[in-house]
């Protein structure tokens, strides 16, 4: 890589900033730092092009469950005005197209080297630069390192016995190749999370036979996806100022007002009516947070919502044994799920539900999957909808070293840390987009908020002529404690899911999100800036001898 003169206050670097990732986060970071601040930026993605999540997750049925009008950037009013969509929710090809158009609009691809994985990044205290190494054998130096590695990006592919001997094909939904046609095939899907639900709905209609390997039954409500008229879309566009203000001041940033009414404060009849209305309206987050204020915090409210969904399952699914297997008995406290006619799928004659909690997957055989009972399911294709090593998964895959050669793997061995979901003590000039302990929301508005804060912070650094910035350990400890306290006020830590790292065998159960919402998060970020970055250390004395 050729050496270019950076414009930052640290001379001698190849570039001012390295950005990793070409999803919503990385793309916006390149735009803000290069086009906004005039920095010299080199960006990388292991993918062949832009898109991040939407580049990798091309599985049949892949869809956003944030409504189309607010699963996008908000900073450019012309871009908002030009927005095009057909239905209430965006399909994967539409989002990929949107991000491709975004890259074209701001000429972002020229800053990227695609098909290139960052394998290591080391902060050198002697030159105060990041030394970033890729799998292409190149090392580049930069003052700033900004990572948009994705929080649902490092795929989790459980190692099943016998898998190497399976004669059919296997795919992980999060690394889906182009051009796969599953029509007429005997397909098995392992996993019934958000992804599983979508791929199951899509494949039931085209597979010769679909076997769903369900470990945990899930609470799934209708998504409510329908075409949106030009008038409706124009209405959003005319109202965007108010919409984005509401989104960014709200907790979940999903574009609806979260309920302030406790579930038990209304009569049982009213509660049923409110749940029924939400069922007909559609939306997983709406069902959990738009109906009542305490479904995620009060066991009684949670049980009422869970009972309602179980009742729906018993009404929809014709075979009582299948209905019973589909009914979750644990808390309704994972990432809320939704889909179109999900439970109806199990009334189809070409769909079989295998409950692999009571009867686990024993092994893959050459012709399919054998359960512990000895029952074998013959399959041509097995789809792993088994999720992700979420939030810190991609960080663990990079040899990331800060001051004194401290490794991120070591710092995070009891669970990921992170200040404001963006920074880490002992890792100077390092900024994560959607790093650990950031907000739990519809993500593009949080990404925007974070990238804008990062750009402001870098601008502040350059105006001040500072060489390094990093949070104090005390500030980071306080932030983590705050995140823990807030999370413990909810029922989420009691459920086994990726949100607390419970889906990966051996991963420590740790707090990974700031659950007080985007509005409060924005206030916290502004407070840091307005305090003159009082929680940060500028130009800290190196810990290593020169």
Burial class (CB in 10 A: 0-12, 13-18, 19+), 119: middle
Q: Which of 6, 17, 31, 45 binds ligand FAD (CB under 6 A)?
A: 45
Q: Is the torsion defined by CA of 315, 215, 173, 43 positive or negative? A: positive
Q: Which is nearer to ligand FAD, 71 or 130 (CB)?
A: 71
Q: Which is nearer to ligand NAP, 106 or 388 (CB)?
A: 388
Based on the shown chain and the rule CB under 6 A, indicate whether residue 335 belongs to the binding site for ligand NAP.
yes
C-beta of 147: minimal distance to ligand FAD in Å? 8
Restricted to residues 369-408, the positions that interact with ligand NAP (CB under 6 A) are 385-388
Q: Extract the tokens encoding 249.
A: 């001041």
Question: Going residue by residue from 104 to 123, which x/- string records binding to ligand FAD, judged by CB under 6 A?
Answer: -------------xx-----
Whole-angstrom CA distances from 96 to 71, 126, 174, 253, 542 are 12, 41, 14, 21, 43
Q: Which is nearer to ligand NAP, 357 or 413 (CB)?
A: 357
Q: Which is nearer to ligand FAD, 158 or 367 (CB)?
A: 158
C-beta of 114: minimal distance to ligand FAD in Å? 9
- Rounded to 5 degrees, what are φ and ψ at 98? -60, -45
Restricted to residues 173-202, the positions that interact with ligand FAD (CB under 6 A) are 195
Among ligand FAD, ligand NAP, none, the one that 423 touches (CB under a kind-dependent 5 to 8 A) is: none
To the nearest 10 degrees (0 to 180), the angle between helices 240-249 and 518-530 is: 80
Restricted to residues 445-464, the positions that interact with ligand FAD (CB under 6 A) are 447
Q: Are strands 118-124 and 129-134 parallel, antiparallel or unpaired?
A: antiparallel
Restricted to residues 35-74, the positions that interact with ligand NAP (CB under 6 A) are 64-65
Q: Extract the tokens encoding 530.
A: 């307005």
Q: Which is nearer to ligand NAP, 213 or 332 (CB)?
A: 213
C-beta of 464: minimal distance to ligand NAP in Å? 38
C-beta of 397: minimal distance to ligand FAD in Å? 6
Question: Going residue by residue from 118 to 157, which x/- string records binding to ligand NAP, judged by CB under 6 A?
Answer: ----------------------------------x-----
Q: Are strands 41-45 and 15-20 parallel, antiparallel or unpaired?
A: parallel
Based on the shown chain and the rule CB under 6 A, indicate whether residue 443 belongs to the binding site for ligand FAD.
yes
Based on the shown chain and the rule CB under 6 A, indicate whether residue 336 belongs to the binding site for ligand NAP.
no
DSSP secondary structure code for residue 407 in this structure: B
Closest to 24 measured CA to CA, from 52, 56, 58, 66: 52
Distance CA 422, CA 309 (A): 37
C-beta of 284: minimal distance to ligand NAP in Å? 7
Among ligand NAP, ligand FAD, none, the one that 158 touches (CB under a kind-dependent 5 to 8 A) is: ligand NAP
Among ligand FAD, ligand NAP, none, the one that 296 touches (CB under a kind-dependent 5 to 8 A) is: none
The residue number whose beta carbon is nearest to ligand NAP equals 193
Q: Extract the tokens encoding 276.
A: 């029924």
Which element (helix H / strand E) includes 276?
A: helix 268-281
Q: Which is nearer to ligand FAD, 113 or 170 (CB)?
A: 113
Among ligand FAD, ligand NAP, none, the one that 215 touches (CB under a kind-dependent 5 to 8 A) is: ligand NAP
Distance CA 413, CA 501 (A): 12
Based on the shown chain and the rule CB under 6 A, indicate whether residue 215 belongs to the binding site for ligand NAP.
yes
- Give the residue ranges of DSSP H helices in 45-189: 53-56, 77-82, 92-105
Whole-angstrom CA distances from 233 to 57, 70, 80, 211 are 26, 11, 11, 39
Q: Extract the tokens encoding 488.
A: 């413990």
Distance CA 50, CA 111 (A): 11
Q: Of the listed pieces 118-126, 186-194, 200-208, 524-532, which binds ligand NAP according to CB under 6 A? A: 186-194
Among ligand FAD, ligand NAP, none, the one that 191 touches (CB under a kind-dependent 5 to 8 A) is: ligand NAP
Concatenated DSSP letters of 492-539: GGGS-SGGGTTTSTT------EETT-HHHHHHHHHHHHHTTSTTEEES
Question: 119 by DSSP, 3-state: which?
Answer: strand
Based on the shown chain and the rule CB under 6 A, indicate whether residue 432 belongs to the binding site for ligand FAD.
no
Distance from the Cα of residue 175 to its chain's centroid: 15
Would you say 546 and 406 are in contact if contact means Cβ atoms under 8 Å apart?
A: no
Q: Extract the tokens encoding 105.
A: 């609009």
Q: Which of 498, 500, 513, 521 binds ligand NAP (CB under 6 A)?
A: 498
Q: Which of 6, 52, 439, 517 binds ligand FAD (CB under 6 A)?
A: 52
Positions touching ligand NAP (CB under 6 A) are: 64-65, 152, 158, 190-196, 198, 213, 215-216, 335, 356, 361, 385-388, 498, 503
Binding site for ligand FAD (CB under 6 A): 20-26, 44-47, 52-53, 55, 57, 62, 64-66, 71, 117-118, 148-150, 152-153, 195, 394, 398, 433-434, 442-443, 447
């Amino acid at each position: 890589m050729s050496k270019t003169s950076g414009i930052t206050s640290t001379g001698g670097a190849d570039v001012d900033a390295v950005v990793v990732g070409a999803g919503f986060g990385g793309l916006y970071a390149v735009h803000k730092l290069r086009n906004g601040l005039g920095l010299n930026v080199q960006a990388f993605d292991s993918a062949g092009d832009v898109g991040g999540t939407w580049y990798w997750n091309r599985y049949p049925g892949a869809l956003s469950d944030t409504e189309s009008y607010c699963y996008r950037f908000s900073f450019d009013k012309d871009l908002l005005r030009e927005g095009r969509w057909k239905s209430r929710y965006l399909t994967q090809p539409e989002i990929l197209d949107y991000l491709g158009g975004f890259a074209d609009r701001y000429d972002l691809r020229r800053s990227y080297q695609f098909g290139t994985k960052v394998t290591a990044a080391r902060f050198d205290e002697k030159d105060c630069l990041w030394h970033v190494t890729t799998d292409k054998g190149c090392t580049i130096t930069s003052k700033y390192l900004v990572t948009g590695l994705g929080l649902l990006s490092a795929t989790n592919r459980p190692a099943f016995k016998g898998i190497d001997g399976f004669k059919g094909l296997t795919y992980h939904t999060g690394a889906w190749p182009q051009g796969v046609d599953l029509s007429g095939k005997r397909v098995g899907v392992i996993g019934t999370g958000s992804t599983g639900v979508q791929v199951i709905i899509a494949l039931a209609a085209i597979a010769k036979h679909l076997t769903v390997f369900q470990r945990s039954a899930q609470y799934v409500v209708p998504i409510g996806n329908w075409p949106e008229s030009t008038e409706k879309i124009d209405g959003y566009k005319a109202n965007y100022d108010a919409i984005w203000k509401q989104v960014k001041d709200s907790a979940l940033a999903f574009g609806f007002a979260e309920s302030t009414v406790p579930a038990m404060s209304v009569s049982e009849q009213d509660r049923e009516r409110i749940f029924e209305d939400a069922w007909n309206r559609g939306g997983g987050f709406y069902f959990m947070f738009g109906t009542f204020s305490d479904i995620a915090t009060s066991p009684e409210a949670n049980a009422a919502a869970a009972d309602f969904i179980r009742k729906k399952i018993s009404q929809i699914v014709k075979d009582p044994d299948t209905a019973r297997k589909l009914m979750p008995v644990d808390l309704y406290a994972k990432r809320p799920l939704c889909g179109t006619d999900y439970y109806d799928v199990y009334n189809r004659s070409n769909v079989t539900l295998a409950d692999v909690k009571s009867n686990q997957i024993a092994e893959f055989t050459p012709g399919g999957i054998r359960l512990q009972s000895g029952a074998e399911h013959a399959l041509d294709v097995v789809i792993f909808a088994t999720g992700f090593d979420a939030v810190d998964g991609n960080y663990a895959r990079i040899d990331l070293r800060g001051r004194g050669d401290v490794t991120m793997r070591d710092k995070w061995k009891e669970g990921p840390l992170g200040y404001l979901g963006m920074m880490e003590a002992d890792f100077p000039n390092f900024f994560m987009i959607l790093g650990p302990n950031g907000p739990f929301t519809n993500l593009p508005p949080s990404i925007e908020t974070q990238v804008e804060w990062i750009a402001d912070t870098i601008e502040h650094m350059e105006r001040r002529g500072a060489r390094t910035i990093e949070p104090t350990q005390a500030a980071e400890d306080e932030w983590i404690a705050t995140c823990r306290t807030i999370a413990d006020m909810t029922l989420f830590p009691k459920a086994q899911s990726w949100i607390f790292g419970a889906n990966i065998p051996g991963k420590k159960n740790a707090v990974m999100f700031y659950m007080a919402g985007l509005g409060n998060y924005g206030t916290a970020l502004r407070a840091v800036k307005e305090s003159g970055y009082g929680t940060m250390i500028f130009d800290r004395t190196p810990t290593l001898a020169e």
